[in-house]
Amino acid sequence: MSRTFRFLLAVIGIILLSVLLTPPLSALLSPFFRFEKIFNRLVMIFAVSAAVLFVLIPKMKKGGAAFDRETWRVYGFDFTRPWKKLFLYGFLAGAISVILLAVIEVAFGPRYLRSPLLIQDIIERFLKGMMSGMTVGIVEEFFFRGFIYTRLRKKLHVILAVILASAFYSLTHFFDNGQIFIPENPGIRDAFRLLFGYLEPLVMRPQMILNEFIGLFLFGVVLNLAFIRTRSLFLSIGIHAGSVFIVKWQYSFVRSGDDMADPFFGKIPYYDGSIEWIVLILLGFAVWFLTRKGQFSSH
């Protein structure tokens, strides 16, 4: 069975499992999660699970241990490097980048400080932001950098692999089916409608997502650069986790108008405006400088 055929089977399996499981799970979790939210999470869970299986199965067929260090080192989980330091430096770099943008956009842009500050809101957003940051950082970095980029790099030049992996990472953020109407008692048919609804922003509103695509693409390039320079995912996991954490937490302190749209400062925090692209480029240079002279090489 060819790799292409196995990949197509995996895609079909992800779709079918997500479609079939969303209605019964929605019946159980509807008070807590929306139908489309459950569907989207199932797609991501099964996609990451499929990536893990693509890593493990070839190794197991050769009689090797599924979780040996060498297997996972190739995909970025190299614990022979100072992984704790890599994660910490990355987390601080990502967090500081978003804080810098927040300060600039409050001082010179259309955002403003929230008043009064609510202690309960600060604590809740801190905890949710930290949990979200860690989860997104680990899962997405393994999938997009550890798995997708590594697979592309085996067949393509490094620059083309980075471009394709970063473009795919960016595009997945626009698979938005949140505008699809879901009835009170949704079923499998509604799950299929959500599936096709993923393509609506790309087909119907390409010009509206261009700025966001550029920002997310640049962020993907920075994360790929961190992976390439260290041959470890922990720096990129840290950058991703720190950025998501502050983006989530900053809502306790910073507000913006609903109709805010500025080509320099952007609208969506914090990647669709010119100033935000500049900070992302500076973050890329910081990653390059941080990883110079092999100070994060194996012990």
Contact by Cβ (8 Å): 126, 253:
no
Query: What is the pLDDT, as a whole number, of residue 199?
Result: 62
Q: pLDDT band at 176, cuts 50/70/90?
A: low
**Identity at 1, one-letter amino acid code:** M
Q: pLDDT band at 111, cuts 50/70/90?
A: confident
Q: Is 166 or 58 the better-scoring residue by pLDDT?
A: 166
In a domain, 145, yes or no: yes
Q: 113: which DSSP letter?
A: E
In a domain, 242, yes or no: yes
* Residue tagged 């067949």 (tokens): 155
Residue 124 pLDDT exceeds 90: yes
Query: What is the pLDDT, as a whole number, of residue 50?
Result: 84
In a domain, 21, yes or no: no
Count up the domains in the chain and report the number: 1
State pTM to two decimals.
0.82
Please choose, from the candidates 37, 47, 30, 19, the residue with its C-alpha nearest in 3D space to the C-alpha of residue 180.
37
Query: What is the pLDDT, as a whole number, of residue 18?
Result: 80
Query: What is the pLDDT, as a whole number, of residue 177?
Result: 46
Measure the CA–CA gap between 170 and 149, rounded to whole angstroms.
Answer: 13
Residue 183 pLDDT exceeds 90: no
In a domain, 89, yes or no: yes
Exposure class string for 99-119: b at 16+ Cβ within 10 A, else e = ebbbebbbeebbbeeeeeeee
Q: Is 32 or 124 the better-scoring residue by pLDDT?
A: 124
In a domain, 187, yes or no: no
- pLDDT digits over 194-208, tens only? 666 666 665 656 667
In a domain, 58, yes or no: no
Q: Is 42 or 276 the better-scoring residue by pLDDT?
A: 276
Query: What is the pLDDT, as a whole number, of residue 299?
Result: 47
Neighbouring residues of 204: CB distance < 8 A, sequence distance ≥ 6: none
Q: 141: which DSSP letter?
A: I
Residue 293 pLDDT exceeds 70: no
For all residues of the chain together, what is the average pLDDT? 81
In a domain, 46, yes or no: no
Mean pLDDT across the stretch 152-181? 81
In a domain, 34, yes or no: no
Domain that holds residue 220: 78-174+209-294
